[in-house]
Amino acid sequence: MRHNSFIRCRTDGLLLTGERPDKQPAAAVQGTIAEFNVVRDAPVGYHAAQSVDATLLRRNHAYSWYPVPPQPWQPRVRVAFQMDDAKAIAVTELNTSEGLEGNGDENQIIPELRGGKRPAARQ
């Protein structure tokens, strides 16, 4: 997926997901490449769900200047890139994210979550 824009989504800007039986170990979606996309004002900019593996998210931009008010079950802090399965292969490179004030303040937007946790700092 290349050169798309997603504006003021109420849930996820770009959601990669697929159905699979609970006992099937293989991913339902594999080999997705998303680059040069823009997600604006969504609670989660780019989201690879549990059934997704071998994903490349490159040169994408997520920003939240005028966020849609969150639903009661949603966190107030936005997430730029979220991968639900910590063991899945997901490469993120050269992406950018901005919070309310046009910067990467992690109190406003979390750059990346893997398996519900922030990854260790990159060298």
Average pLDDT, consecutive stretches of 10 residues, N- to C-terminus, the chain (123 residues): 91 87 74 94 92 94 84 80 92 92 79 86 47
Domain count, the chain: 1
Kindly state whether residue 69 falls inside one of the protein's structural domains. Answer: yes
- In this prediction, residue 23 carries a pLDDT of 66
Sign of dihedral through CA atoms 111, 116, 121, 123? negative
Kindly state whether residue 35 falls inside one of the protein's structural domains. Answer: yes
The pTM (predicted TM-score) of the whole model is: 0.86
- In this prediction, residue 123 carries a pLDDT of 37
- In this prediction, residue 26 carries a pLDDT of 72
Kindly state whether residue 24 falls inside one of the protein's structural domains. Answer: no
Kindly state whether residue 119 falls inside one of the protein's structural domains. Answer: no
Q: Which domain holds residue 97?
A: 5-16+29-114
User: Which residues neighbour 70 within 8 Å (Cβ) at sequence distance 6 or greater?
Assistant: 43, 76
- In this prediction, residue 57 carries a pLDDT of 96
Say if residue 83 is exposed, middle or buried (CB neighbours under 10 Å; 0-12, 13-18, 19+): buried
